[in-house]
């Protein structure tokens, strides 16, 4: 009996996860652009994401070109996702330098130190393996797999600053919920693809191990999916339960400029006398009795 249809379904799911995970970057980019602010978007998340997806691109490219590097199976959708994610993560980081940051002033020291350590580790391994060629580096610690380990560590840590930022502000304003839905969808489908691959390998080769045999399992892709789902659930709880309806009005963090501008001139925001003074001062001179635009006074 042919089970080729399972492989076809796996490929379809792979491309669906690619689009879901890839599109998940755009809502945050557009939200930052519309608000001209990253006050609700963690600077550490933006910083770690760029290096993380650079490492993942390196890991995926190496495994795609050289399948026996120990990266596990790298499919075309995995490779394209890594490149695309790196590009969009770079745009998000650039926004952190351009737009208003609210109460966030600079990157946390621990995130900077982590990236320095990871980059030094990768460069040292590359020099030992590729330049000096000492010949004693185990395959489990070749350059591409170390890049994958670096990405796995970043994936585990990058969401924590965003969770903490939401808690500190008691609001998820500025953190796109559509991004979370798409990220959750992409992570779920990514793991589903790996499950289908396990079933296909089990039926065709008799190997029912989820983690595959030898170098067949892409552990970094699996961790990326698991950690995305785990933290997306936390973000949904924050958005819909813990901080539902909360709006943080720090500088550069207004959800709708028109609504905010209108609220500044209502008696609900100021006392009635101040409100009347504003109306009188800002009203155009229309020749009606009782209103004088130049003096801002009410003649009665």
Q: What is the pLDDT of residues 129-158, one digit of tens each?
A: 877 766 666 777 889 999 999 999 999 999
CA dist., res. 248 & res. 228, Å (int):
25
Maximum pairwise Cα distance, the chain: 94
Who's near 296: CB < 8 A, 6+ residues apart? 277, 280, 281
Q: CA torsion angle for 158, 163, 165, 170 (degrees, to 10)? A: 170
CA dist., res. 245 & res. 172, Å (int):
9
Q: What count of residues does the chain have?
A: 300
pLDDT at 17 over 70: yes
Average pLDDT, the chain: 83
Q: Which residues pair with 291 in a beta bridge?
A: 298
**Taking the domains of the chain in order of start, what are their residue ranges?**
4-242, 264-300
pLDDT digits (tens, 9 = 90+) for 209-258: 766 555 567 888 999 999 999 999 999 999 999 999 877 656 445 444 43
pLDDT digits (tens, 9 = 90+) for 96-120: 999 999 999 899 999 999 999 999 9
pLDDT at 291 over 80: no
- Under the banding of pLDDT at 50, 70 and 90, the label for residue 38 is very high
- Residue 208, pLDDT score: 76
pLDDT digits (tens, 9 = 90+) for 56-110: 999 999 999 988 888 888 999 999 999 999 999 999 999 999 999 999 989 999 9
Query: Whose CA is closest to 228, among 16, 11, 6, 25?
Result: 25
What interhelical angle do 43-65 and 76-98 show, nearest 10?
Answer: 150
98 within 8 A of 87, measured Cβ to Cβ: no
């Amino acid at each position: 009996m042919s089970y080729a249809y399972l492989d076809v379904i796996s490929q379809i799911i792979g491309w669906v996860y690619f689009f879901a995970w890839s599109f998940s970057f755009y809502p945050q980019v557009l939200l930052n652009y519309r608000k001209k602010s990253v006050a609700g978007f963690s600077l550490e998340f933006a910083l770690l994401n760029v290096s993380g997806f650079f490492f993942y691109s390196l890991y995926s490219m190496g495994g795609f070109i050289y399948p026996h590097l120990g990266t596990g199976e790298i499919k075309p959708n995995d490779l394209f996702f890594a490149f695309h994610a790196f590009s969009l993560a770079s745009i998000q980081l650039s926004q952190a330098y351009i737009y208003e940051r609210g109460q966030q002033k600079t990157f946390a020291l621990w995130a900077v130190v982590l990236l320095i350590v990871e980059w030094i580790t990768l460069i040292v391994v590359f020099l030992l393996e590729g330049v000096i060629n000492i010949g004693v580096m185990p395959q489990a610690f070749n350059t591409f797999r170390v890049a994958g380990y670096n990405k796995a560590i970043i994936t585990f840590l990058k969401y924590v600053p965003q969770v903490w930022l939401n808690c500190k502000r008691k609001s998820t304003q500025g953190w796109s919920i559509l991004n979370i839905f798409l990220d959750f969808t992409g992570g779920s489908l990514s793991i589903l693809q790996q499950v289908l691959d396990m079933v296909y390998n089990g039926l065709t080769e008799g190997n029912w191990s989820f983690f595959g045999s030898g170098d067949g399992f892409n552990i970094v892709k699996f961790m990326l999916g698991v950690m995305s789902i785990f933290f997306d659930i936390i973000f949904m709880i924050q958005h819909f339960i813990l901080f539902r309806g909360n709006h943080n009005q720090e500088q550069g963090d207004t959800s709708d400029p028109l609504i905010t501008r209108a609220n500044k001139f209502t008696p609900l925001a100021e006392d009635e006398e101040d409100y009347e003074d504003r109306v009188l001062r800002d009203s155009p001179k229309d020749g009606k009795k009782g209103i004088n635009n130049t003096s801002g006074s009410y003649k009665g």
